[in-house]
Structure 1
Amino acid sequence: MGTSTTYGGPSGRDPLVPSWLGSDGGGGASPGGPPDAPPADQGQPSPNGAPPPQAAPPAPPRQPIPPAANPNRYTGPRGNFTRFARSGGSDRASLGRAVSQYVSSSAGGSRQAAQRMGTSRAAGARLVGFLNDAQTRGAREALRTLNLEALAGRPLPEILIGMADHVCPGAGTVDEGIAREAYVETVVELTTSGITDLDALSPDQMLTVFEMYATHAIEARICNDIGLKAITMPSDAQAALRVEAQLRDFVRNGVSDALANARAGGAVMASDRIQAFVDQVYEDAFRFLHARGEAEGDQ
């Protein structure tokens, strides 16, 4: 307010910088001065002797989100199957186009179609593994392994009913439901097939049982994906049965071709190769179904 004077800075007797601070101002200690504080996170133990806290690991990189599936990928197969159904089973060209489009477009090819049936493939391998074990060591010993020795001597359909939870251990998901439905259909078909004696089961009969199971599993997968409930079926009950039977025969021909191809290639039914054998049959079955469907659709 008019009485203030200009500030001339600190005097030499009372510096603002302490004498023990290095002349460079960087924290270096002068001789006889107080020590520097230890830097943080140098691995010094805590006062209670516990090890120092470790730095959190870096977050894993985010995985790319797969592209959404085409919501119209089943439109073509559904339309062709509807035409086949409305014909009462006479329009084989539409059936062929429906199946070939399902494999190539809807499922993404034979390999991807087979991979989508992981539960059914695993159940098929367990079924074949048991039948193969019964041929190798006898039915009683194979059943004893599963704690089902009491079923020894019973007809094969009864034995398979008793071991349903071993072959198809769950039915909570769609895939598990398809696997179990195919298994039940296989047991029903066995009752009229003449294959009833597990002790006398031949290698050809064993493959026939597996052919039944794979056929029902693939048929159920196609029906579930295409959504037969949304397809107009013929009102005539006999025509509807013909439609269902022709679809099953179409699928069975593909599975039969796949099994013939595996046997011609010298596939060995060793216990450690059963899953690979089953996986290859499924993939080949879809490949043959696609080829057969294209041939039918071109007629």
Structure 2
Amino acid sequence: MGTSTAYGGPGGGTPLVPSWLGSDGDAGGLASPSAPPAGAPTKDPASPATLPPAPPTRLAIPTPADGSRFTAPRSNFTRFAGSGGSDRASLGRAVSGYVSKSSGGARQAAQRMGASRGSGARLLGFLTDVQARGATEALRSLDLEGLAGRPIDEVFMGLADYICPNAGTVDEGIAREAFIETIVDLSTLGVTDLDALSPDQMQTVFELYATHAIEARLCNDIGTKLVTAPTDPLIALRVQSQLRDFIRNGVSDALTAARAETPNLTQDRVHTFVDTIYERAFGILQTLGDAEADQ
């Protein structure tokens, strides 16, 4: 969880979904390639006179969100971490409050996963291509055929810049951190051969990635005490493991339902599929959190 301790979390006045956060974490509001540069003179086809330059288009400034919306989830998360993982009710309240109040609901929470949604779609698209055409052809389409036949961890490290480009912002850093942690997990699970990857293993790869991405996003927003609150490093690891298992259960349920609805995933549906997974996962996590809080 390198990102979780490197950033103090967003301020309460930060918009729920920043204006620059698109589905791929890229800046939005760019002019159409066919449009003239802002401020360039234009001519009326019926008159040789030059018209005054059009005023530049400005992005709307998002309305600041409730300045205290992170307070309660952060407090509950700190209590959970300080308890060494025994206070599951506080974990439930922290996660449920994060989705419903801090983020404004499951859909808004999913939209905050900008770069992770884009990276998740590229990862799942690559795996879908491997299933359809084989690892060699999938890698050749990315000019990475030299990685063919290598162990899966080496292949994925070679794919890092394609899956998670431009790790310059916190959002992009979360996406890249999640991908690196997924690579580490694959070696411990014994998933080593990309050519022999089964559909269930493909689901596992994406499930791990989405779990790590949501965990890192949540920790950056409300979980800054996750590592520092427990005084014993072993307890800190136990707390982190409980949080990860909690999130993975939500992601797994969301992915299983989505696969049942879309058993034959095609490249043109990958982005929509990934967006659905994140939104459903946050909805399930809110429900699971409410259940923990009521116990």
**What runs of 5+ residues in structure 2 fail to find an aligned partner?**
1-43
- Residue of structure 2 in register with 1:78 after alignment: 74
Letter in 2 for 1:253: N
Aligned in 2, Cα 1:231/1:242: closer, same or farther, shift over 3 Å? closer
Give the whole-Å Cα distance in 2 for the aligned partners of 1:54 and 1:162.
52
* Match of residue 277, structure 1, among 268, 273, 285: 273
Q: Deviations over 1:150-202 (max 9, x none)?
A: 11111111100011001011100111000000000000111111111111111
CA deviations on 1:93-145 (whole Å, 9 max, x unpaired) are: 11011000000000110000001111101101111111111111111111111
Between 1:206-215 and 1:139-148, the stretch displaced more is 139-148
Superposed, 1:177-216 pairs within 5 Å as 177-216=173-212
In the TM superposition, 1:40-79 aligns within 5 A as 51-57=48-54, 59=55, 65-79=61-75
Equivalences for residues 182-261 of structure 1 within 5 A: 182-229=178-225, 233-261=229-257
Structure 2 counterpart of 1:52, which letter? A
Asked if the contact 1:86/1:233 (under 8 Å) is kept, the reply is yes
Q: CA deviation at 1:77?
A: 0.7
Q: Structure 2 CA distance, aligned partners of 1:136 and 1:67? A: 45
Cα distance, 1:53 vs. partner?
Answer: 3.6
Q: Which residues in structure 2 correspond to 1:23-42 (within 5 Å)?
A: none
What amino acid maps onto 1:137 in structure 2? R
- Quote the offset at 1:263 in angstroms: 2.1
Q: Is the 8 A contact 1:81 1:231 kept in 2?
A: no
| TM-score under structure 1 length normalisation | 0.79
Amino acid at match of 1:287: G
Q: Which amino acid aligns with 2:99?
A: V
Q: Could you tell me which of 150, 160, 176 is aligned with 1:154?
A: 150
- Does structure 1 retain, via aligned residues, the 8 Å contact 2:80–2:88? yes
Instruction: Report which structure shows greater RCO (CA 8 Å, sep ≥6).
Output: 2
The amino acid of 2:205's aligned partner reads V
What residue is the counterpart of 1:33 in the other structure?
Answer: none
- Summarize deviations over 1:257-282 as a string: whole Å, max 9, x none: 10111123245311110111111000
Q: Offset of 1:56 from its aligned partner?
A: 4.8
How many equivalent pairs are there?
250
One-letter amino acid matched to 1:260 = T
SS at 1:163 equivalent: helix
Aligned to 2:163: 167
1:126 lines up with 2:122 in the alignment: yes
Q: Quote how far apart the aligned CAs of 1:239 are.
A: 0.9
The structure-2 alpha-carbon separation of the partners of 1:186 and 1:52, relative to structure 1 and needing over 3 Å to count, comes to: same
Q: Distance in 1 between matches of 2:57 and 2:204?
A: 48
Q: What is the CA distance between 1:149 and its match in structure 2?
A: 1.1
Larger-gyration structure (1/2): 1
Contact 1:140 1:152 in 2 (8 A): yes
Task: Select the residue among 258, 261, 264 that pairs with 1:268.
Answer: 264
